[in-house]
Structure 1
Amino acid sequence: MNFSPAVLNAIFTLSAIPVLTKPDTLVQTRPLPCTNVDILLGQNAIVHEGYSLVITAQLGPGVTPAPTLVWTLPSGATLGAGESSGNARVNGAGTLLTVSGIAPGDVGSYSATATNSEGSDTLSSTITVDRYSWDVVIGSCTHTCGPLGIKPALVLCRNDSSSGATVAEANCCAEKPTTPPPEPCNRIPCPVPPKFFDPPRYDQPERPISDKDQTIDVAQDVLIIEGNRLVIRARVVKGIPDPDVQWTLPDGSTLGVNERRGRFSVRDDGQLVVDNIQLDDGGTFTATATNEVGEDTAVSRVTVIRKAEIVDRPPQIKVLPSFVQNPPIRRGDFAIGAGQNVQIHAGNSLWIETNLAKPGIPPATFSWSLPGGETANTGEMSGQFQVHENGTLVIKNIGLNNEGDYEVTAWNSAGSDSITSSVTVLIGPKFFDPPRLATIDIGQNVTIVEGNRLVIRARVVQGAPDPVVSWTLPDGSTPKERRGRFSVRKSGALLVKRIQLADQGRYTATATNSGDEHTSVVQDDEISESRSSIGDQTNAIRAPFLSFHKET
């Protein structure tokens, strides 16, 4: 059969009502254990509180024009493609609804409606939120609670007086609940795989850290002397339910918690103890923590030696390259290596670090010779000089008296090694800083910076009735005539504000009462640009001489 172009075009543009494909029924009598749930639209599901729900809508093939999908939530809110509301969101195509951190309030029906110009189709999924199961004791009855997302149609309980038989609530006991049981009651946590504590690692030393018993964490290696006790801790930092710890010994045998075999035992906290350890006990010790959802393994390597095999060796200090320092350190703490020289400004703190090329056997002890002839030894951590266990010397608030050579000696029973650092302390130039506010008594001289304030006290030692003090300024005027920057206080003191170079000279105070008057007399002195010495005169009221310098 032949079709005309017009007929072919009509066939290819045939419109159809959208159809949402209904999936197979999902049989689910209990929520999936502690996991997110992914279902097809049309399937129902039970989801544990706190996990995510994903619902996928499937459209039938060959639907034109392309339909628009709109989701309706249990709250009545609607979401289109790319939209979100609270913890629910729809992807850009509109076919995927995700509900994150699902809560009891999210229980109910989730539906999607596909619509085009030809019609629409709707399909829904019913979601129940479960908070795990728990028991509630009311009187002599123990009630097993169901999901809180919906009210259970039947609450089962165990009547202690009926030999533990499970019966319907109506026949359970008189103290049956009238309200939903309290929560969270005894909520069952989700299982978590075990995980051992991850301790810090360190390089295997040339000799044991100590010639006594040793305690380490599993995953650390150790060198131990024959005859001592070894304890390897198996600290499990997480795991639900509590994991079982088992040890595998170097010979391949295993030990569980609270088990003992000869000199080997495992305590109830999982620690492995080896008493009177022998050369043949060395090797790999493996701890395994296991629970129903996983396991974790950690390994320690143990080396056992005889004490007679330890040979003393002298320490050797590493010689560091010198460095060019220009300019010297002005601010902040500074660190150099022993053997290097430094220029540093006073007031800073200096660290001189001792670097060993060979640590020596037994471990080295450090002693520093200071410029003043004193010494500072390992462990001295008070005062200006501190010596750390690794031989580092710290000089706090360094001063000019700390300049000189600092020699460090690393020593043990097999020998010693020394090296010297030269420290130069610099103090920058500083101008004299005269007082910003000067207060003097009449008869004293002062040097003051232009722009500052001056107070000259005129203290009358005798006079009856009380005298009145008046002042004559260097240019012959009085404070009243000069007003503004010059004033006389009730005490008779003269105040000069924002003093100027033109104000330098002789200031005269006169005390007057009805009986007499007294005026101080002084000779003119040469104006000095430096601080003048304090003089003393015989007058009861004296005239000070002022000199000034200009601050640059």
Structure 2
Amino acid sequence: MTAATGRAGTSSSTTGLLEMLRRPTFKNPFNEKIIAKPGKATTLNCSVDGNPPPDVSWMLPNGTWFSGGIKTSQFLTGSHGTLTISSPDTAKAGRYRCAARNKVGYIEKLLIVEVGQKPNILTRPVGPVKGISGESLSLHCLSEGSPRPRTAWTLPGGSVLERPQLGRKHVLLENGTLLIRDASVHDRGDYVCRAHNDAGESSLTVPVVIAAHAPRITNRPPRAVHTVPGAALQLHCAALGIPKPEISWELPDRSVLSTDHRGRASGSQVLHPSGTLLIENPRPSDSGAYKCTAKNHLGSDFTKRVKIPAPRFFPLNLQIWEEGWRWPYTPWCRRRRCPSPPALSGRREG
């Protein structure tokens, strides 16, 4: 009985001892990535469990090992498996290894330290950004930093755009550019771009001015224009305005030619992009009233009707035949000023 009891007691003691011994285990067994702010103390945590309590040591990116209780001007190891980097900078970024060891085991884990870079906005316009009413306007906010900065825009009315989105008047693109569609005077004001990451943030205020002016015709054609048949005629009509005005001409037959839809009328009229109306080969049918109109979405301006009387001239670019003799009349002469034909003399045809 005594021997049996002794053997049982020894077995129980051995079992208890084995239960008490545990190899080291990390409370977070996964490798980690830490973003440290420049100049701000950062603590790396290597919490570990085991029996007996494991000894924790750290290997720095340069290969140096620190055990517990070590303190330098740059690093401090704590009693619970921590490593504090007093003033992180790019020289202290890299791969740190935490090792835990006791009598029954050894484990390691990796912690990658990146020293963040506060965002720096690279695009800074000089003075207000000027847009044109009715056209799209892009406000750029390109930034750099580590980790990659996120961009948000605050509009003049106070609303905030924080993520890329499409299909609206204000569109935030992936690169941080804010697109204002169909700008108007209501879009003027201060726009604030904010680039932020874990290391900090930077902001930029962009004043926006929208230019808009109703059209004003600056080069008006005369009230009446006289021409001769066949001699090309130009009617000029230039206008200022923001956005650029569309220039159109109303023809005597009430048809309209526009610079937005350039082309040729049913007769000999052609409209140039500048707003000049060209009548290539004037004929009596081209006589009448012509009206120029300049228009944008802010208003319009127009000329009084330009009257083109029926041509008073006629071409004499023809040859007169009489009794087999030929004499060419002088081209483009007035009816009353044409020279009289000479006496029929000279070379007979045939």
Is the pair's TM-score, using the shorter chain for normalization, greater than 0.5? no
More strand by share: 2
What's the TM-score bracket when you normalise by the shorter of the two chains? 0.3 to 0.5
Taking CA–CA contacts closer than 8 Å with sequence separation of 6 or more, which of the two structures ends up with the larger relative contact order?
A: 2
